[in-house]
Amino acid sequence: MNKVPKVVFVWMALMLSYQAHAQVKAGLRAGINYADLTQLLPKYGNGFHAGTYLKFSLAGLLELEPGIQYSQRKFDVHPGYPGNSLHLNYIDVPIVVRMGLLPFVDVFAGPQASVLVARKYKGGGQFDRTTEFHEQELGALVGIGVSLPLGINIQGSYDFGLSNPVHNGHEIKNRIFKISLGKDF
């Protein structure tokens, strides 16, 4: 008689793990960045991002999506010197909540932590104090996504810094508009 509760427990655990597996999707995402550093001369630039994510279904109404991305932001240092550029490379860790509006359209928002992993100046002269950029930044993002057949998704997001790092006497914030193409597996 003691075996019946054990068998039922094991069977329920297997069924729940199967259900949990069915509600988790992994994916890859890559795209283009259009970045802006407020209050600095290298104001606008572009770059790319690429990374991975997990989607956890929450009762079918919402999805929790943690991810990790490599994100490059390139800026022209001065409009009069087109060969001079600044490259800032980050690891971004967003945690977003997605809510479906239609069966194939969702909106999302959440916090994002970013770590500056590399910086490089290209061009003549020198860009003053690239080492003063803060290594960590806290931000948030909002956006809209469209799910297509075969697990393909397209999204647009606006990432904005919440912390106010000071560089060379100026309070700056990273602001990035991203366009991404993803694939759920």
**143 three-state secondary structure:** strand
Residue ranges covered by each domain of the chain: 25-184
Query: pLDDT digits over 101-112, tens only?
Result: 988 999 999 999
Pick from 159, 148, 162: nearest CA to 51: 159
pLDDT at 135: 81
Nearest to 68 by CA among 21, 112, 108: 112
Question: The pTM is what?
Answer: 0.78
Cβ partners under 8 Å of residue 95, min gap 6: 64, 65, 66, 67, 110, 111, 112
pLDDT band at 18 (very low <50, low <70, confident <90, very high): very low
Only one residue has tokens 């980050």, namely 90
Residue 173 CA to residue 160 CA, distance in Å, equals 7
How confident is the model at residue 79, as a pLDDT? 62
Report whether pLDDT(36) > 70.
yes
99 Cβ neighbours under 8 A, 6+ residues apart: 61, 62, 106, 107, 108
State the architecture of 25-184 in CATH terms: Beta Barrel (2.40)
- List pLDDT tens digits, range 78-135: 666 667 777 889 999 999 999 999 889 999 999 999 998 988 877 766 555 555 567 8
Q: Average pLDDT of the chain?
A: 81
Of 42 and 73, the structure prediction assigns the larger pLDDT to 73
